[in-house]
Chains A and B, each alone.
Chain A
């Protein structure tokens, strides 16, 4: 484990603090720590693009769980805390399974509603909670035995410091791991994330469970520290406090919630001098903070001193740049078969009984006038759209028809998108590293403990990303944020992203659209090199020179129907194709 000097220094300062400051400030630091836990969890989920405004529910569930266990059965709060975390995680998991298919504001509002329901239960379930009166006399925290009961603020402080440091380390590991990259991918471009093998649902569900477990721990400690439980725990303003800490501190950053927890615990206390105007001034400061540093304190600090980016891993020396992952272009001789696929939207038939197949190492172009159904075919093949009838089979005739996009990727089929083909806020190198997600094997705990195997895997993924950037000629732009790249560079980066999972079949949706002739030449050359490594390519393209130049075979669609299939020379002479492209009169004139 690599403990940077800065972390050690911070811990040393925090360890000295309670011997220097008086109890009031020690109390505020404990409160900061308690709120840091749920905020850190909320931040992990927000890193995946999902904002929960019901987090206080899990905080409260944690507090009530270990508080009631201690009150009624005399269970040690230490074990109670474990139960609290587990219960909060379980409830979070159940809520997640029904809500995480929702996005954005929907998810936000549903989580608020959930917290409100839990608050009403706590208020009305008098036998268990004594309702609004609350439960006084919750036992103080102990370390597993009554003999180790915490008696002073200083003792609480040190236990909190340990919990906080562990949480910080956990979140740092998660956010900087392959899991953290998957969260970033989902947040920035969900469709692209899915197409490179990241399950948006599973990734955010894991984040939700982590977030809720941390809230449960924080709530449990809070209950034993204040020794009082009431439905006020579930009040909406507690959630607001957490969000303010996360966003004010710096969302999706590791240090943000910690910094935010301290700043936004002390700020309202310092404002006590303003007496009646306290909350008004607090609101104004909050509003100004959001307006002038919407990305939080951490971001504002980073702007003050720009950091030098870490160096790019060295691509493996010598030989062909590695395109195909683990040298395994899976899929046998026909890695893709489309069988009798029909797609209807209401009354409109977008594809009608279309059948074709792709051979290994083949470049097959799918062409046709606008509205012919080419993009629909891509959606069907890659799992973004389910056909009305018909099947899509992958290598070894595995049925892909009902698989979601990330599963299709796992079967070796990866697409490059025509629009929004990158993760816009990440650097070029990070874009490609993110996209290598599928090749990682390390599980959740391996990531948390950063095992030797995990570190080796990370190094391999970084090296692979570097070699893909070299392959697409973007090495010099590795640290540029993707949205700052030129259009042509973004297309190349999109290609590198699609290659990162190591596809057996690469689906390219107009790779040359909008490129200048030199760039088009480059893309053509790259496609041929990719094929040379054993990858099959399915291509949708309008640039006929490109299509005729590199395709082995061409399938022509018109109004959702396959009207021709054959070698480029045959297609150029086919009367049906000419009619479709140029209109009936032209074809007759030629005939």
Chain B
């Protein structure tokens, strides 16, 4: 009984790590650029498919292929920022948002043409035989995905806290106009932010794509989940996204096991509606984010 519970929690944490990565990317992009990135799920999908092609088709080493896929998604993000988002800066919030919706239509349909719509698996080099750790059974790829997600989360945190670029990002987050006045190259910060956020979504796709299926529409659900994560944690809240992601992963895993697997995907949004009723500023409610 307890063993089963622990098993579900551990499974949930692995998926939650992926959600958290998505959520951090989304929340940074929103917090700094005020862009609601509706193509976030497609960057996730792109990460998974790049790994599928580089590793599965071209036979490049799994870990190298994973790293290349993540970087490539980051580059794609930078291009999108320069070509699409920069000209739209200063428009009302729905305009860049719709541009991202259009981009997601483009990317998803391009993926259908390039890779066809059938679900695929990535034949990762880890053993499919579960490892037994006390009461729980877990396959190695899930351990890898969980550990890698934690490493990437810590890495992102250090990047934002310690590097010059990370400081510039935080300054822009607090007050873009002021940051520009004291000499921060805001254009560069925007490009870096979007690129970094996209790369995190790509990383999430690489990790969860190795555990589950890879298909062109895989980003739809993932994007929904990351929106849920970000509202739970508070828009623009880095720590909130991490906690929100992990909580959502665990809640879904437990909900599917003990409540109803059909409603598993609704859990995040039910939590949000409850939160709105009782804690309208997000889980932590640290900032006035209502406007």
Q: Which of B30, B105, B231, B277 contacts A286 (CB 8 A)?
A: B105
Is the pair A284, B273 in contact by a Cβ cutoff of 8 Å?
Answer: no
B54 on interface, CB distance cutoff 8 Å: no
Q: Which of B88, B104, B268 contacts A113 (CB 8 A)?
A: B268
Is the pair A114, B273 in contact by a Cβ cutoff of 8 Å?
Answer: yes
Interface membership of chain A positions 99-142, coded 1 if the CB is closer than 8 angstroms to chain B and 0 otherwise = 10111111011101110110011011000000000000000000
Closest residue of chain A to B94 (Cβ to Cβ) is A51
Is the pair A98, B265 in contact by a Cβ cutoff of 8 Å?
Answer: no
Residues of A contacting B106 with CB < 8 Å? Answer: 280, 283-284, 287
Knowing A120-B265, A284-B106, A286-B102, the reply to whether A105 touches B224 (Cβ < 8 A) is no
Once the chains are docked, how many angstroms separate the CA of A539 from the CA of B12? 60
B194 on interface, CB distance cutoff 8 Å: no
Residues of B contacting A121 with CB < 8 Å? Answer: 266
Knowing A112-B227, A113-B231, the reply to whether A105 touches B95 (Cβ < 8 A) is no
Which of A236-244, A426-434, A566-574 makes up part of the contact surface? A236-244
- Closest chain-B Cβ to A187's Cβ sits at a distance in Å of 9
Residues of A contacting B30 with CB < 8 Å? Answer: 105
Is the pair A106, B235 in contact by a Cβ cutoff of 8 Å?
Answer: yes
A19 on interface, CB distance cutoff 8 Å: no
Residues of B contacting A108 with CB < 8 Å? Answer: 36, 94, 97
Closest residue of chain B to A237 (Cβ to Cβ) is B105
Closest residue of chain B to A190 (Cβ to Cβ) is B291
Interface membership of chain A positions 552-583, coded 1 if the CB is closer than 8 angstroms to chain B and 0 otherwise = 00000000000000000000000000000000
Once the chains are docked, how many angstroms separate the CA of A97 from the CA of B280? 13
Once the chains are docked, how many angstroms separate the CA of A571 from the CA of B61? 82
- Closest chain-B Cβ to A239's Cβ sits at a distance in Å of 10
Knowing A124-B262, A279-B105, A284-B106, the reply to whether A105 touches B36 (Cβ < 8 A) is yes
Once the chains are docked, how many angstroms separate the CA of A284 from the CA of B105? 8
Tell me the residues in window 197-228 of chain B with beta carbons closer than 8 Å to chain A beta carbons.
220, 224, 227-228
Residues of A contacting B224 with CB < 8 Å? Answer: 112-113, 116
Residues of B contacting A105 with CB < 8 Å? Answer: 30, 34, 36, 93, 235
Residues of A contacting B99 with CB < 8 Å? Answer: 287, 290-291
Is the pair B105, A283 in contact by a Cβ cutoff of 8 Å?
Answer: yes
Closest residue of chain B to A248 (Cβ to Cβ) is B98
Residues of A contacting B291 with CB < 8 Å? Answer: 103-104
B290 on interface, CB distance cutoff 8 Å: yes
Tell me the residues in window 236-291 of chain B with beta carbons closer than 8 Å to chain A beta carbons.
260, 262-263, 265-266, 268-270, 272-273, 276-277, 280, 289-291
Q: Which of A51, A123, A244, A279 contacts B109 (CB 8 A)?
A: A279
B87 on interface, CB distance cutoff 8 Å: yes
Is the pair A113, B269 in contact by a Cβ cutoff of 8 Å?
Answer: yes
Residues of B contacting A148 with CB < 8 Å? Answer: none
Is the pair B109, A280 in contact by a Cβ cutoff of 8 Å?
Answer: yes
Is the pair B270, A117 in contact by a Cβ cutoff of 8 Å?
Answer: yes
Tell me the residues in window 269-300 of chain A with beta carbons closer than 8 Å to chain B beta carbons.
276-277, 279-280, 282-284, 286-287, 290-291, 294
Q: Which of B95, B112, B231 contacts A247 (CB 8 A)?
A: B95
Once the chains are docked, how many angstroms separate the CA of A276 from the CA of B216? 15
Which of B110, B228, B231, B269 is the most central at the interface, judged by chain A CB atoms within 10 Å of its CB?
B269
B230 on interface, CB distance cutoff 8 Å: yes
Residues of A contacting B36 with CB < 8 Å? Answer: 105, 108-109
Once the chains are docked, how many angstroms separate the CA of A51 from the CA of B99? 15
Knowing A98-B277, A287-B103, the reply to whether A243 touches B98 (Cβ < 8 A) is yes
Is the pair A116, B266 in contact by a Cβ cutoff of 8 Å?
Answer: yes
Once the chains are docked, how many angstroms separate the CA of A81 from the CA of B104? 34
Is the pair B263, A124 in contact by a Cβ cutoff of 8 Å?
Answer: yes
Knowing A112-B227, A120-B262, the reply to whether A102 touches B113 (Cβ < 8 A) is no
Residues of A contacting B127 with CB < 8 Å? Answer: none
Residues of B contacting A101 with CB < 8 Å? Answer: 280, 290
- Closest chain-A Cβ to B228's Cβ sits at a distance in Å of 6
Once the chains are docked, how many angstroms separate the CA of A110 from the CA of B275? 11
Residues of A contacting B266 with CB < 8 Å? Answer: 116-117, 120-121
Once the chains are docked, how many angstroms separate the CA of A102 from the CA of B97? 18
Q: Which of A116, A284, A291 contacts B265 (CB 8 A)?
A: A116
Is the pair A276, B97 in contact by a Cβ cutoff of 8 Å?
Answer: no
Q: Which of A112, A247, A284 contacts B94 (CB 8 A)?
A: A247
Is the pair B95, A290 in contact by a Cβ cutoff of 8 Å?
Answer: yes
Residues of A contacting B276 with CB < 8 Å? Answer: 98-99, 102, 110
- Closest chain-A Cβ to B244's Cβ sits at a distance in Å of 12
Once the chains are docked, how many angstroms separate the CA of A101 from the CA of B290? 8
Is the pair A98, B105 in contact by a Cβ cutoff of 8 Å?
Answer: no
Q: Which of A103, A106, A282 contacts B231 (CB 8 A)?
A: A106
Closest residue of chain A to B101 (Cβ to Cβ) is A240
B91 on interface, CB distance cutoff 8 Å: yes
Closest residue of chain A to B34 (Cβ to Cβ) is A105
Closest residue of chain B to A126 (Cβ to Cβ) is B262
Once the chains are docked, how many angstroms separate the CA of A244 from the CA of B106? 15
Is the pair B270, A294 in contact by a Cβ cutoff of 8 Å?
Answer: no
B84 on interface, CB distance cutoff 8 Å: yes
Once the chains are docked, how many angstroms separate the CA of A137 from the CA of B230? 41
Residues of A contacting B104 with CB < 8 Å? Answer: 283
Which of B87, B230, B235, B262 is the most central at the interface, judged by chain A CB atoms within 10 Å of its CB?
B262
- Closest chain-A Cβ to B274's Cβ sits at a distance in Å of 10
Once the chains are docked, how many angstroms separate the CA of A244 from the CA of B100? 12
Is the pair A113, B227 in contact by a Cβ cutoff of 8 Å?
Answer: yes
Closest residue of chain B to A103 (Cβ to Cβ) is B291
Is the pair B262, A236 in contact by a Cβ cutoff of 8 Å?
Answer: no
Closest residue of chain A to B270 (Cβ to Cβ) is A117
Tell me the residues in window 457-502 of chain A with beta carbons closer than 8 Å to chain B beta carbons.
none
Q: Which of B88, B112, B272, B273 contacts A291 (CB 8 A)?
A: B88
Knowing A116-B224, A279-B105, A283-B106, the reply to whether A109 touches B98 (Cβ < 8 A) is no
Residues of A contacting B93 with CB < 8 Å? Answer: 51, 104-105
Once the chains are docked, how many angstroms separate the CA of A240 from the CA of B100? 11
- Closest chain-B Cβ to A272's Cβ sits at a distance in Å of 14
- Closest chain-B Cβ to A165's Cβ sits at a distance in Å of 27
Closest residue of chain A to B260 (Cβ to Cβ) is A124
Once the chains are docked, how many angstroms separate the CA of A114 from the CA of B274? 12
Once the chains are docked, how many angstroms separate the CA of A113 from the CA of B230? 12
Residues of A contacting B272 with CB < 8 Å? Answer: 110, 113
Once the chains are docked, how many angstroms separate the CA of A104 from the CA of B266? 23
Closest residue of chain A to B275 (Cβ to Cβ) is A110
- Closest chain-A Cβ to B168's Cβ sits at a distance in Å of 23
Residues of B contacting A99 with CB < 8 Å? Answer: 276
Is the pair A280, B113 in contact by a Cβ cutoff of 8 Å?
Answer: yes
Once the chains are docked, how many angstroms separate the CA of A104 from the CA of B288? 13
Closest residue of chain A to B291 (Cβ to Cβ) is A103
Tell me the residues in window 297-324 of chain A with beta carbons closer than 8 Å to chain B beta carbons.
none
Once the chains are docked, how many angstroms separate the CA of A251 from the CA of B99? 15
- Closest chain-A Cβ to B291's Cβ sits at a distance in Å of 5
Which of A99, A112, A120, A290 is the most central at the interface, judged by chain B CB atoms within 10 Å of its CB?
A290
Residues of B contacting A123 with CB < 8 Å? Answer: 262
Residues of B contacting A291 with CB < 8 Å? Answer: 84, 87-88, 99
Residues of B contacting A46 with CB < 8 Å? Answer: 94
Knowing A113-B272, A120-B266, A291-B84, the reply to whether A283 touches B109 (Cβ < 8 A) is yes
Chain A to chain B contacts (Cβ below 8 Å), 18 pairs:
A98-B277, A105-B34, A112-B227, A113-B228, A113-B269, A113-B272, A116-B224, A117-B266, A120-B266, A251-B94, A276-B113, A279-B105, A279-B112, A280-B106, A282-B105, A283-B103, A284-B106, A290-B95
Given known contacts A102-B290, A108-B94, what 20 new A-B pairs fall within 8 Å (CB)? Answer: A106-B231, A106-B235, A106-B290, A108-B36, A110-B272, A113-B228, A113-B231, A116-B269, A120-B265, A123-B262, A124-B263, A240-B101, A243-B101, A244-B98, A247-B95, A280-B106, A287-B99, A287-B106, A290-B99, A291-B99
Q: Which 3 A-B pairs have the closest CB atoms?
A: A283-B105, A113-B269, A283-B106
